[in-house]
Amino acid sequence: MNHLGIPYKMVTIRKMVRRLRKRLRIRSTAKRPKTITVKIDRESFKNGYDPLVKSIDYGYSKMAKITVAKCDRLSKLGNRKQAKNIFNEWLSNRKGDKGRSGKQKPYCFDELKKLDVCEHEFGECLIGAANKTKSGFKVRFLNNKGSDSYVHHVSAFANSTNENCIHSVEMLETVSSSKKDPEARTISHLCGNGGCARPGHLRIEKKSVNDERTHCHFLLRRSQSRNQSEMIRLACPHTPKCFVNMYKINTPYY
């Protein structure tokens, strides 16, 4: 016993824990994560299919069945087959391909520079050119007049056309176009990249949960190492757990 009445064995353990924490802190912040080049197999996502359907449990079977009025459902939900064609065209276009107007066709990056900071089982994002608005990333979609639609809506609609899909039509019909109610269902980006169009990086859930995920993504994007991001993900209360893919497009990390 020391003068405070604490057993010497307990004091020794506490000292060891402090030393281990200090070492972990030094190792995790000593240098920035390295930048690596990643390849994206665009062909594997044809028709909106995502291989993650075989390995990730999105928890849809446990979600309560709810009814949303048709007037409050996502617009263009009935145009899923057309969404699949648009999605396939987006996957097949390459840099340098030009449309009738002479402008570059929208295309998906098949090679990206990535900050290797977060280890997870969700794979890479599908990212392409999109216009960022206050409410999200939009692309020209679904009619000759060129109306705007969110990239993740296009992705989810295309995915729902597959027999073995992640986001079924029945689940998409529970998503509300109005986001005022925290209990209303929305489509979240598990990866935190608003411009990502990979079906497996999306999840239908309450708006309140979607808002909570922004805090996890904020911390993960400021992680200095895999050790730190692993600790943040362990503390993440969401299902599936949040993660980030940080790509260098132009100069900033996406």
**What are the strands, taking DSSP E only, across the chain?**
35-39, 111-115, 131-133, 136-140, 148-150, 185-189, 202-206, 246-248
201 in the same domain as 88: yes
The pLDDT value recorded for residue 159 is 97
Rounded-to-integer distance, Cα 170 and Cα 77, Å: 11
- Residue 136 located in a structural domain: yes
Total number of domains in the chain: 2
38 in the same domain as 26: no
162 in the same domain as 191: yes
The pLDDT value recorded for residue 9 is 44
- Residue 204 located in a structural domain: yes
Ordered mean pLDDT values, 10 residues apiece, the chain (254 residues): 50 59 54 87 96 96 91 87 89 85 83 94 88 59 56 92 96 91 94 92 96 95 92 95 90 49
Domain that holds residue 231: 34-248
Q: Calculate Rg over the CA atoms of the chain.
A: 22
The DSSP 8-state label assigned to residue 35 in this structure reads E
The pLDDT value recorded for residue 100 is 80
Give the Å distances, CA to CA, from 106 to 20, 98, 128, 138.
Answer: 50, 9, 7, 12
Helix axes 226-235, 207-221, angle to 10 degrees: 160
The first and second tokens of residue 190, run together, are 């598990």
- Residue 59 located in a structural domain: yes
Rounded-to-integer distance, Cα 126 and Cα 194, Å: 11
- Residue 254 located in a structural domain: no
**3-state class of 149 per DSSP?**
strand
The pLDDT value recorded for residue 18 is 66
pTM score of the predicted model: 0.82
- Name, in order, each residue with C-beta under 8 angstroms of 20's C-beta and a sequence gap of 6 or more: none
74 in the same domain as 99: yes
In angstroms, how far is the first alpha carbon of the chain from the final one?
55
81 in the same domain as 20: no
